[in-house]
Structure 1
Amino acid sequence: CRAGQIREIVNLAKSPLFIWLSISIGLFQMGRLVVMTFLPIYLQEHLGYSPFVLGFYIALQHAMGTISQPVLGFLSDRFGRKATLFPSFILLGLLFVLIAVVQPGIQLALVIGTVGLFFYTLLNVVLATVMDVADPKIQASAYGLTSLVTHIVVFPSPMLAGMMVDDYGIGSTFWFAGALVIAGAFVLTPLKLYKGTRTK
């Protein structure tokens, strides 16, 4: 009944596992939003790349995500959510930092392409993780609740990054984004998440 579903949603919202998972997802999404905001600015205004080259890099990210999506999905189902998310968050955070460090040209293209392996695909694994911790009757509500929490946390991140650009240069935004995603990985470490079919 409706009252029972509402009660389950309230109980989920008070669950420490759900709260810490939402915090981890929020940090991940903060890092993504910072990169989504400032990577085009970095490529066009600071490196002088044309709109065509910018479009190429965005297309490259999507293409790499298309390749990695079934792979990460399989690994997540087979070896567990944390075993997939933790190293992926760490790698993505380090790749964000590398955007600010590597030389323009082939090095930067390789880094951005590798970012694409995780940038969009991890959202599907995150969604599956939220579904795992919720009762089947309220899974859509659980994801909606997670989205509400993360959006509240995430929306100031581009403004904070913009302040950092003024003081420390645009490269600092990628360090900031990397630190956020890596912090999200470590928030996951104590959580008891789905361990995959290999453990059965």
Structure 2
Amino acid sequence: MRSTWLDQGLILLFTGSFMVFVNLHLAFIIMPLYVLELGGGDWTAAWYNTLLAGAAVLFRFLFASWVDRFGRKFSLLVSGSALVTAPLFILLAGSPAYLSFIRVFQALGLALYPLAANTLIADLSPVARRGTVLGLQRLIIITALITGPPVAVLIVEQYGFQTLFWLLTILGLAGMAPLLAIREPVRAGTGTPVLNGFQFVLASRPLRVLISSTAACGLAYGVLLTFLPLYAVRVGIDNFGLYFTVFAFSGLVSGVVAGRLSDAFGRRKVLVPSLALFGMGILYLGLPAPGAVMMVSAVVAGIGYSASLTLLVAWVVDAAGRKLRAASLGLFENGIDVGITAGSFAFGSVVALLGFGFAFSTAGALLLIFAVLIATLDRGPVSQIR
């Protein structure tokens, strides 16, 4: 029996997004390995990832208005094409400078695709099921993360980078075909330029708290990505990759479950414990017996991270209203990327001065603080612009 709440456009979006998100994940994971293959060093590999993330943050400020001005579908097709064709252009790169231009080109996809997808989901999903549908989007993202990198590494080992990049482009373009069939709902003009929208969003305390909480999640995730492998080696655990596998699998369905619960009982009642779970999962890393605790941390933090991001984006959409939707989601996505960057770089000094335990404890405690702040917020639209 056909679902009455899962719009055909949403099914097309989820189907067409899988290979786009595979390319997005591999842009960060495989690219450093390719740079090393070309003879670059660790610093060069890190620079290309920093360039990708930094350019994406800038592009969201510059081009978030495209999502309203030219439409969600147009933005999906342009940004998705940038992500899935970039691997082919990488093969043609003859110099580090040219490779830098390609990373900036990829950044357009990273900047706009998640933003346009979340905005379209908000347009097409009924309010009573919005959390559930955004949870399904999180499921697609995590599935792409779980399946894409292992298969990509296998292809590189067996056939090389050239085969992988050709496959990513061909399968990516074919996988995007369902996006062409999406029919956008007719929308009235927002009447609010995105840059002005940023000002209205930041003027609202509830939205500031929600977006700051998103940045805190990104920061904590950046701390995990950067320092968990170093910490694991320090305490004698070689297979630290298992942590991220367990982390990803633990969050596979938690976004859908949390979204559905928030539709039924309210965002705040589910988001507060989700943030607390993520925080406690990171705090666990400072405890003794690191081997056993790391797996407990991976499960708890994985559930909390996936659930928290799903609920934060749902609440941001609820609170912003139609006219501030694109601006709010642009700041939401930037909050994640800026947070990850801050966690990766700023906490380097914390680790050097005070050790891994203090760094993990600080990141975890920050999430608990934001859980308390979230507990003081009310659900519902907060903007005066409707």
Which residue matches 2:191? 4
User: Any idea what SS the aligned residue of 1:193 has?
Assistant: coil
Do the aligned partners of 2:283 and 2:364 also contact (CA within 8 Å) in 1?
Answer: yes
Which residue matches 2:312? 126
Question: Displacement of 1:3 after TM fit?
Answer: 7.2
Which residue matches 2:293? 107
Do the aligned partners of 1:61 and 1:112 also contact (CA within 8 Å) in 2?
Answer: yes
Report which structure shows greater RCO (CA 8 Å, sep ≥6).
1
Which residue matches 2:167? none
Question: Displacement of 1:59 after TM fit?
Answer: 1.1
RMSD: 2.5
Which residue matches 1:59? 245
Question: Displacement of 1:17 after TM fit?
Answer: 2.0
In the alignment, does 2:214 pair up with 1:28? no
Letter in 1 for 2:252: T
User: Any idea what SS the aligned residue of 2:290 has?
Assistant: coil
Q: Compared with structure 1, are the counterparts of its residues 105 and 126 closer, same or farther at alpha carbon in structure 2 (3 Å cutoff)?
A: same
Question: Residue 49 of structure 1 is aligned with which of 237, 248, 262?
Answer: 237
Could you list the runs of 4 or more consecutive aligned residues of structure 1 that deviate by over 6 angstroms after TM superposition?
none
In the alignment, does 2:16 pair up with 1:16? no
Flag structure 1 segments of 5+ consecutive residues without an equivalent.
195-200
Do the aligned partners of 2:254 and 2:306 also contact (CA within 8 Å) in 1?
Answer: no
Q: Which has the larger radius of gyration?
A: 2
Deviations 1:147-179 (A, max 9, x none): 335655663333332112112211111101111
Flag structure 2 segments of 5+ consecutive residues without an equivalent.
1-187, 381-386
Do the aligned partners of 1:99 and 1:112 also contact (CA within 8 Å) in 2?
Answer: no
Deviations 1:43-98 (A, max 9, x none): 1x212333xx2222211111111132221111111111111111121222122111
Q: Compared with structure 1, are the counterparts of its residues 163 and 24 closer, same or farther at alpha carbon in structure 2 (3 Å cutoff)?
A: same
Q: How many residue pairs align between the two structures?
A: 192
Question: Residue 72 of structure 1 is aligned with which of 258, 273, 276?
Answer: 258
Which residue matches 2:372? 186
Higher deviation after alignment, 24-33 or 121-130 = 24-33
Do the aligned partners of 1:97 and 1:174 also contact (CA within 8 Å) in 2?
Answer: yes
User: Any idea what SS the aligned residue of 1:48 has?
Assistant: coil
Aligned residues with identical type, % of pairs: 27
Do the aligned partners of 1:38 and 1:173 also contact (CA within 8 Å) in 2?
Answer: no
